[in-house]
Amino acid sequence: MVTFEKKYSNTMNTITAAITAVGAYVPDFVLSNKVLETMVDTNDEWITSRTGIKERRILKDDDKGTSFLAIKAAQDLLSKTNVDPLDIDLIIMATATPDMPVASTGVYVATSIGATNAFAYDLQAACSSFLYGMSTAAAYIQSGRYKKVLVIGADKMSSIVDYTDRSTCIIFGDGAGAVLFEPNYEGLGLQDEYLRSDGIGRDFLKIDAGGSLNPTSLETVKENRHNIVQDGKTVFKYAVTNMADASELILKRNNLTNEDVDWLVPHQANKRIIDATANRMNLEESKVLMNIEKYGNTTSATLPLVLNDFEHLFKKGDTIILAAFGGGFTWGSIYLKWAYDKQ
């Protein structure tokens, strides 16, 4: 059994960055495996057995982008707290699907929620974007310069998915989640991180056109090069190894055992990847949090959606390990101590 003293072992005078609130939003439209059976050559049993996904949410409005999802998630968070949007210092917008290539989505979101005193920017690291955003937010808080940093993970993956490609359309969904980081003096919050990247992944999970290397042209549009493509087997192999390695390393580095871990919050890309990570950590199934069956892979939104869905289970002082793997390749793990009991 983990003792109170062990959970609160940090020096009490040290500033740590703790999550103090969460929020989320998913669109109403449900794209089930049964519906996908009518669109591409696939079936529910095949999708479920290989990915763990039963359905995903899709933002059907053509005139709404990722910012709409992000604003809704941020507003959900604010509705649960007494935080004035004017007191937010910074908004980090983790996304792989910004509204526009140039105008920052995060800046628009900040203004839209009334956080007009905050500066904001976008952070793109594919499915690891939110994990990287947490690290960045914690550094700002621990520096003492800022008191309230909002990290939003949001993606409208349906905007970059080819729904005739059965290898990708079964995986991705739309959604958003948000967390608020604030200073903590009890030793709670972010304790350690192990973040990595490797450019070898550039060719295995990507959108080929629309950037400076292959600008948009009549040819790129005709050749359907503006949707996400992946080499599934290669991505799976790297994801299983690296996400599991990172999670195991963060435990060893902090002298934690499987008994010390209360919850694993893994990126929701594939249930087999999640199972491999949990097995490497020797965790009981009850400690592994998953909502992949409901949402699929929402990329930057997966981690905060899990935190929001299972917030009611978390107790002050709980040890949480977060892990992710994304295109690029990007991956890592964060060791966090939960800072509050849900009221």
Half-sphere exposure of 35 (CA within 13 A, CB side): 12
312 is catalytic: no
Q: Which residue out of 33, 184, 297, 308 is catalytically annotated?
A: 297
Q: Which residue out of 127, 169, 227, 242 is catalytically annotated?
A: 127
3-state secondary structure 261-322: CCEEEECCCCHHHHHHHHHHCCCCHHHECCCHHHHCECHHHHHHHHHHHCHHHCCCCCEEEE
How far is Cα 106 from Cα 109, in angstroms, rounded to an integer? 5
Whether cis (ω within 30° of 0) applies to the bond prior to 329 is yes
226 within 8 A of 201, measured Cβ to Cβ: no
Q: Which residue out of 33, 169, 267, 270 is catalytically annotated?
A: 267
Tokens representing residue 56 in the block: 């995903």
How far is Cα 183 from Cα 146, in angstroms, rounded to an integer? 9
How far is Cα 158 from Cα 235, in angstroms, rounded to an integer? 20
127 is catalytic: yes
297 is catalytic: yes
The residues assigned a catalytic role are 127, 267, 297
